[in-house]
Amino acid sequence: MNSEPNDAVGRTYSDELLNDALELVTEWGENFGKPIDERILRAHPGLSPADIAELTKRAREAEYYIYKLAEQELDGIITESDIIPEAKKKFAWLDGSNAGRLKNIGMFYARK
């Protein structure tokens, strides 16, 4: 399992925690666009507000990067099969489920 240092609060976040945050940040339905604070604390009690802010920031960075890759695919700069490997190069903690889901969302929005 990889982990990533968090200079902002001196913590290390597990791949699982980063992926949980990404899933919550990009959740659809009634929680779409809502802060993840309460939901992530249910699964990971003990996180500080600074931790949650940092996790949200990192999740958004991964989300937007994948959407940018989907735009590059539409523009012919990369292929569809390049999106997930490129995302994982930058965000080694990214799991296949989140990567695939966000790739599909990104490709949908890139074509709208």
pLDDT for position 10:
55
Q: What is the pLDDT of residues 57-96, one digit of tens each?
A: 999 999 999 999 999 999 999 999 999 999 999 999 999 9
Q: What is the pLDDT of residues 28-68, one digit of tens each?
A: 999 999 999 999 999 999 999 999 999 999 999 999 999 99
Q: Residue 76 region, left (φ>0) first, then alpha (ψ -120 to 50), else beta?
A: left
- CA Rg value for the chain: 14
**pTM of this structure:** 0.87
pLDDT for position 7:
43
CA pair distance 65, 23, nearest whole angstrom = 15
| Three-state secondary structure call for residue 6 | strand
Q: Is the pLDDT of residue 3 over 60?
A: no
DSSP 8-state assignment for residue 9: T
Percentage of the chain lying above the pLDDT 70 cut: 91
Burial of residue 66 (number of CB atoms within 10 Å: 0-12, 13-18, 19+) = buried
